[in-house]
Structure 1
Amino acid sequence: MDITTILLLVKERIGIRSTTRDTYLEAIIKGVVRELEDEQGLVLDETNPHHLMFMVDYSTWRYQSVTGTQTTSTSRPLSMPRHLQWRLHNLVISGVKHEDV
């Protein structure tokens, strides 16, 4: 997966123009890629726009939620947004080959 493209798109989405946070953002992106490949078993394809934009959105959420102070009524941090949960679920399901089922 091309980390540079994801980094540029994450920075555009967040509105960052400098390189000050690049090291931190790259670490988040690499962690997300590793999680999806190792823990979810996905084979990410950088030419697939669904994979690319999920990586951008998931990495952006990870970056923004670290400093987020929003909590539920029980004072627990907010979980992953439903749209990301839904998209992750669909990526995992679509990654399963029919002969594997």
Structure 2
Amino acid sequence: MEYTVLQLVKARLGISTTVRDVYLTAIIEGVMTELSEEKGLVLSETNPYHLMFVADFSSWRYQNRDSMDGMPRHLQYRLHNLMINIGGATSDI
């Protein structure tokens, strides 16, 4: 999943080289860990909604790394929807 998300993030940011791959991969892994361990979400690499959310969230984290601003409403709304969809189940959403 990380490789696919990395390609999506690089496309969104307009990055065509591998210079920032290590840093972007660390952000992506951090986002995925946060979503799974803190939010209890089980992400599926075959679900395009999950892929795009992780890519958008990672892109936002990269672009706002020095900012104290909170998460934008569209990301908050999408995260909330993901958390509701899990419904306390432990299987893929």
TM (norm. structure 2) is 0.91
CA-atom RMSD in angstroms? 1.2
Look up the match of 2:76: 85
SS of the residue 2:64 aligns to: helix
Look up the match of 1:74: none
- Identity in percent: 57
How do residues 43-62 of structure 1 correspond to structure 2 at under 5 angstroms? Answer: 43-62=42-61
Look up the match of 1:26: 25
Look up the match of 1:36: 35
> 1:78: how far off?
1.5
> 1:5: how far off?
0.4
SS of the residue 1:7 aligns to: helix
SS of the residue 1:66 aligns to: coil
Q: Measure the CA separation in 2 of the matches of 1:91 and 1:40.
A: 10
Instruction: Read off the aligned partner of 1:83 and give its amino acid letter.
Output: H
Task: Report the count of equivalent residues.
Answer: 89
TM (norm. structure 1) is 0.84
- Ranges in structure 2 where 5+ consecutive residues have no aligned partner: none
